[in-house]
Amino acid sequence: MIQIPVLRLGKPYSSLDKVQLVHHVTGEPIAEVSQLSGFGLDKDLSRMGQARKELSKLSSKEIFEKYRAAADHFVHSSLPIGDSEQSFDDYIRCLSSTTGSPMVFCKMNAAKVEYVLRNVEEILAGLTRGLDMSILDKGYSIQNGRMQAFYPCTDAFGAILPSNSPGVHALWIPTLALKTALVLKPGREEPWTPFRVLQAFIKAGLPPTAMSYFPTDHAGAGKILQSCGRSMLFGDSNTTDPYKNDHRVELHGPGFSKVIIGQDQVEHWQKYIDPIVESIAANGGRSCINVSAVWTPKYGKEIAHALAERLAKIEARAWDDPEARLSAFAKPEVAEAISNMVEQGLQTSGATDVTQQIRGTSRLVKKDRCAWILPTIVHCQSYTHPLANKEFLFPYASVVECPQNEILKSIGPTLAAMVLTEDNELIQSMMDSAHIERLNIGPIPTTRLTWDQPHEGNLFTHLYRQRSLQRSLQST
């Protein structure tokens, strides 16, 4: 059984308190993960200033080179994990075994991680809109005859990570390139990716003291959020809501992403079914950028039926099946609870599960220790229905009708939107909307990211602030 240690400023530490992870299909023990809490956590969090100083000894150019080396190590090297080493293929199998995410999804998400590691310089150029990153080496530079200066908001960046999709780790990976120490609290079922990335960084020559890996409990996660000057938090509304007014914490909760069909394109809705299906079902529907609602001025029933016909063909498949398109729930009771939430919503009149009508079977599939929830398309007669603006951890979307002139007033917060229109007035209103964070105009699925643009918040502006700086000639 694999022993996954704590990394205390880069040094492995095995604790007496461990959490055991088992294979989601067989129940076989896969790993034991050491835990850190209490005094040890407080002690390490108080040493982040020194951790950042070690990282700051490297130039940005040197760090970028080491990131590219880390990308190679992440996908090609056998990397330390406890007392043994783990190949990339073994990593993928372990990742799938404890999360329930099919191996095909794990490989796809690992490719996102590799891309960010390999292209971090390009990604930071996008986040900073072309700023010369050597500015971080001395804090200022002169570009186009103008003084520019930035200062760090924190010594360490904390990340409270999820277990649902390994691709989210791409969001914190640029932190070390921004000369900020990392404090990671992995998700319970997904300790693998963050640990492997840190080992790739260490093998590439980045200072181990700038990397801390703290599997811990809920109280420990709270300590990280309180002690790190800047952090990110993943979770549902119950987890993220207590921090929604804390500017130090970047929240990654439900996305409520949407497709919006303009009046000028609604007569041609059939040609958009492919990108809508992809937006709903990619990555098993588990990402915050997966669409959970389709808003249209008319033809709601027809659109719902067409989507349901496509999505009803998706079946529950084994974790190692290359054709798998759904993630399993390692705890069947969780899947059952989520499916029951949909059923409760359907008790309110005005909503129909169109996929279930076509499929003729329940959306909940159980086999041995696992469960899956099959894709679900619900047609809602009104956008005020309880199921019209819900998000779940499986491919789910409502289809609602709403007059075009009422859509922006009604959609609410929307992480990503695919807007299907050529109406310049509607496009401008979408551009001006404060409700939509990520905007795709035209048939560009919401799940297709451009990593050189902010995904959900901007890591550079989260970690750095611009300052006014004047310097006399004598001090230069």
Name which of 52, 230, 69, 61 is nearest 137 in CA terms: 61
SS3 30: strand
- Judge contact between 48 and 181, C-beta under 8 A: yes
- The confidence score (pLDDT) of residue 140 equals 86
pLDDT in tens, 252-283: 888 999 999 999 999 999 999 999 999 999 99
Name which of 150, 102, 93, 100 is nearest 127 in CA terms: 150
Tokens for 293?
A: 């609602």
- Judge contact between 209 and 51, C-beta under 8 A: yes
Cα gap 45→182, rounded to integer Å: 11
At 170, is the pLDDT very low, low, confident or very high (cuts 50, 70, 90)?
confident
Torsion of CA 198, 200, 202, 203, to 10 degrees: 160
Over residues 363-389, the mean pLDDT reads 95
- The confidence score (pLDDT) of residue 276 equals 98
- Judge contact between 298 and 264, C-beta under 8 A: no
Q: Which pTM was predicted?
A: 0.93
pLDDT in tens, 411-467: 999 999 999 999 999 999 999 999 999 999 999 999 987 776 766 678 999 999 998
- What angle, rounded to 10 degrees, do the helices at 60-76 and 88-99 form? 80
User: Does residue 164 register a pLDDT over 80?
Assistant: no
pLDDT in tens, 47-75: 999 999 999 999 999 999 999 999 999 99
Q: What is the DSSP string of 395-439?
A: SEEEEEE--HHHHHHHS--EEEEEEE---HHHHHHHHH-SSEEEE
- The confidence score (pLDDT) of residue 475 equals 54
Tokens for 80?
A: 């330390």
Percent pLDDT > 70 in the chain is 98
User: Does residue 471 register a pLDDT over 80?
Assistant: no
The mean predicted confidence, pLDDT, of the chain is: 93
Question: For the purposes of burial, counting CB atoms within 10 Å of the CB of 304, is it exposed (0-12), middle (13-18) or buried (19 or more)?
Answer: buried
Sign of CA dihedral 311, 314, 320, 322: negative
Over residues 203-216, the mean pLDDT reads 97
Between 253 and 13, where is the model more confident? Answer: 13
Domains plus CATH for the chain? 2-253+459-466 (3.40.605.10), 257-441 (3.40.309.10)
* Residue keyed to tokens 């200072």: 207
Over residues 335-361, the mean pLDDT reads 96
Cα gap 109→112, rounded to integer Å: 5
SS3 457: coil
Between 87 and 330, where is the model more confident? Answer: 87
Over residues 126-146, the mean pLDDT reads 86
User: Does residue 237 register a pLDDT over 90?
Assistant: no
